[in-house]
């Protein structure tokens, strides 16, 4: 994510408003998906993963990690293998 959105989400999380940060990140991820900007979409999902892990939300965490891994594999990113392995170890819900 770029510019104000990134800092706004950090601010919302730091202010104890992770629900609002999650909503903004989910909207950003969808806009980025629709625009085809996969790199920044993956970053949005990484932030969603952090929020989900902090909240103990395994379903949301798995979904964010799965989308991140999918994008990184598609982009042939150096992180693809790491994320795929992490997803395989992620708790099943």
Q: What is the DSSP letter of 90?
A: S
C-alpha 4/C-alpha 46 separation (Å) is 17
pTM surpassing 0.85? no
Q: Determine contact, residues 93/58, Cβ cutoff 8 Å.
A: yes
CA dihedral (92, 74, 78, 53) in degrees, to 10, reads: -30
Angle between helices 58-74 and 38-55 (to 10 degrees): 160
**What are the tens digits of pLDDT across the range 26-65?**
999 999 999 999 999 999 999 999 889 888 999 999 999 9
Identify the residue with better confidence: 5 or 60: 60
């Amino acid at each position: 994510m770029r510019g104000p959105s990134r800092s706004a989400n950090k601010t919302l999380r730091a202010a104890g408003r992770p629900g609002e940060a999650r909503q903004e990140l989910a909207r950003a991820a969808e806009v980025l998906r629709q625009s085809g900007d996969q790199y920044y979409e993956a970053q949005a999902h990484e932030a969603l993963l952090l929020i989900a892990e902090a909240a103990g939300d395994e379903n949301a965490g798995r979904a964010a990690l799965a989308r991140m891994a999918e994008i990184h594999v598609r982009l042939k990113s150096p992180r693809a293998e790491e994320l795929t392995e992490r997803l395989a170890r992620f708790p099943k819900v």
